[in-house]
Amino acid sequence: MKIAFFDTKPYDRPAFEREGAKAGITFKFFETKLTPDTAGLARGYDGVCVFVNDTVDRECIDRLVEGGCRMVALRCAGFNNVDTRYAFGKIHVFRVPAYSPYAVAEHAMAMLLTSIRRIHKAYIRTRDFNFSLNNMTGFDLHGKTVGVIGTGKIGRVFIDICRGFGMRVIAYDKYPAEGAGIDYVPLDTLFRESDIISLHCPLTEETYHMIGADTLDKLKTGVVIVNTSRGALIDAEALLTGIKQRKIGAACLDVYEEESDIFFEDFSGHIIEDDTLARLISMPNVIVTSHQAFLTEEALANIAETTVQNLLEFEATGGSPNELCYRCGKTDDCRRDRSKKCF
Ligand code: NAI
């Protein structure tokens, strides 16, 4: 089997080369992202392997299918960059539903602690032999209320970590996990009561800009917002307004609404065109990491292993438990539940 691998970074290759060699799959590594313009590179391949900022839209899907591709193997959990409705019946789409919830949840907590204990400031100060503690006062997490939005795999690990710190945890999920011992509250209550809000739900039409201009009034003054999920859950302009109004106390962002042309690339020495991102980064109480939460050795190994399993399983049986389509999760409609195949 031959797979065209897009948006390759040096850290992707070792695990995929290792797993590919074991399974008899040849990966051709392209540095470019998959877009309608680059889809031609996949002509003659059995499928493509893509990441979060590749664009699998209608035009791209048509070109992939024309070129003979039968599979889109996402090497990530989120799939908002794939037009799953249009792909249905044309090309099979798989994902890696979980590779290390610990990697992401631990990164969320790392960002939170860095922010509230000013570690990012201390690191720079002491390197310059500045040992002053002025403006470095933080606050205890113990006893604070954290509101977790999305209590799936990552959200739950994050909840456990927060409980370890002695925090009060409240949560909101569209589909609450009954019997999981989680204190679910309505979203507005979570906004009103949380000292810290951490986002762990997927990006959908419903969750788009769930933190936006009309949310600001509902938030507790000084709230810290952590987003390791998807950038567009937050309206970045509204976030900036909230920070300037001193309503939002700090923001820890591993994802950003307009990240696709910026994150994962080296722009040092360039002039950043995105004024909102530049302004956010310039704020003393904003920490940005470049969609890095997943990046651990364990996660990379799991991603490669599951992607290769998805491809092999599809080749052998015509289906895979990790296949997805626009009907997945809708219990009345989900064909895969019955036949193990989306189509
Ligand atoms: P999951 O599918 O296990 O959990 C998602 C939870 O969100 C579910 O409990 C679901 O019921 C809930 N949800 C769905 N719609 C909702 C809504 N409208 N409002 C509130 N909750 C809703 O997913 P998992 O593995 O926990 O991942 C969460 C998110 O983390 C992913 O969607 C992905 O975007 C992001 N992610 C980010 C990574 C990074 O490197 N920064 C790496 C991996 C995932």
107-145 pLDDT, tens digit each: 999 999 999 999 999 999 999 999 999 999 999 999 999
**pLDDT value of residue 111:** 98
Query: Is residue 228's pLDDT more than 70?
Result: yes
Query: Is residue 92's pLDDT more than 80?
Result: yes
- From 173, 211, 300, give the residue whose CB has the most ligand 1 atoms within 8 Å, as the site to mutate: 173
Q: Looking at the annotation, which residues are catalytic?
A: 230, 259, 291
**pLDDT value of residue 191:** 98
What tokens does 310 get? 């998805």
pTM to 2 decimals? 0.90
* Residue 200, ligand 1, Cβ within 6 A: yes
Rounded Cα gap, residues 319 and 32, in angstroms: 28
Instruction: Quote the percentage of the chain above a pLDDT of 90.
Output: 89
| Phi/psi-derived region of residue 340, left when phi > 0, alpha when psi is between -120 and 50, beta in every other case | left
What lies within 8 Å, CB to CB, of 28 at 6+ separation is 2, 3, 4, 5, 45
User: What's the gap in Å between 173 CA and the centre of ligand 1?
Assistant: 10
| Band of pLDDT at residue 206, cut at 50, 70 and 90 | very high
- From 74, 104, 190, give the residue whose CB has the most ligand 1 atoms within 8 Å, as the site to mutate: 104
Longest dimension (CA), the chain: 65
What tokens does 66 get? 């024309």
CB 71 within 8 A of CB 26: no
**pLDDT value of residue 278:** 96
Query: Is residue 169's pLDDT more than 70?
Result: yes
Query: Is residue 207's pLDDT more than 90?
Result: yes
User: What's the gap in Å between 197 CA and the centre of ligand 1?
Assistant: 14
Q: Please work out, in degrees rounded to the nearest 5, the angle formed at the alpha carbon of residue 115 by the alpha carbons of 114 and 117.
A: 70
**pLDDT value of residue 198:** 98
| Average pLDDT estimate for 61-85 | 95
Query: Is residue 158's pLDDT more than 80?
Result: yes
Residue 92 Cα distances to 218, 226, 325, angstroms: 42, 33, 8
Average pLDDT, the chain: 95
**pLDDT value of residue 330:** 66
The Cβ-side half-sphere exposure at 131, using a 13 Å CA radius, reads 1
What tokens does 226 get? 């952590």
Q: Pick the residue whose CA is nearest to atom 15 on ligand 1.
A: 174
288-334 pLDDT, tens digit each: 999 999 999 999 999 999 999 999 999 999 888 899 988 876 666 67
Residue 313 Cα distances to 22, 30, 308, angstroms: 14, 24, 8
* Residue 81, ligand 1, Cβ within 6 A: no
What tokens does 141 get? 């997490």
**pLDDT value of residue 18:** 97
Query: Is residue 340's pLDDT more than 90?
Result: no
CB 106 within 8 A of CB 129: no
| Average pLDDT estimate for 25-32 | 97
**pLDDT value of residue 337:** 66
| Average pLDDT estimate for 146-162 | 98
Query: Is residue 238's pLDDT more than 90?
Result: yes
Query: Is residue 239's pLDDT more than 70?
Result: yes
Sign of CA dihedral 259, 161, 75, 31: positive
Rounded Cα gap, residues 343 and 318, in angstroms: 9
| Phi/psi-derived region of residue 27, left when phi > 0, alpha when psi is between -120 and 50, beta in every other case | beta
* Nearest atom within ligand 1 for CA of residue 293: 40
What tokens does 103 get? 């990697």
| Band of pLDDT at residue 259, cut at 50, 70 and 90 | confident
| Average pLDDT estimate for 83-107 | 95
